[in-house]
Amino acid sequence: MRLCRGLMLAVAAALVAGPVGAEPKGVKYEVSAARDAAYSLKCRFPRTYMGNSAFNAIEFQHTGRRTGRIPAEGGVRCTLSKLSGPGPVTLTLFKDGERTVTVSAPGETGHVQAW
């Protein structure tokens, strides 16, 4: 049986979240950006298993604000790049406090780590 990629991502997200009412696992992140500001985010972390699948990176492009969790307890290294749009883009990782990086100009790249 072959599952579509969207369904697999939904299942992976549910596995990261755990049982209803439980505190989700992983490093929480928040990207603050204007609605029209486009950026790319690449994060690497130690190999994490969800079901029968192993992950050690996430990568996506997005426009505007976004929040979520990186499916690792630590060892997270992220690169944020602004692609276009108005205003700065800020990535915050929440792990034993807050760690942030801000990029302002298209083409600018910043790095942040959470151990």
The count of domains in the chain is 1
Mean pLDDT for the stretch of residues 63-78: 96
Q: What is the pTM of this model?
A: 0.78
CA end-to-end span of the chain = 38
**In which domain, by residue range, is 88 found?**
5-114
pLDDT band at 3 (very low <50, low <70, confident <90, very high): very low
CA-nearest of 69, 99, 109, 84 to 33 is: 84
Mean pLDDT for the stretch of residues 44-52: 92
Identify the weakest region by mean pLDDT among 15-24, 32-41, 77-86.
15-24
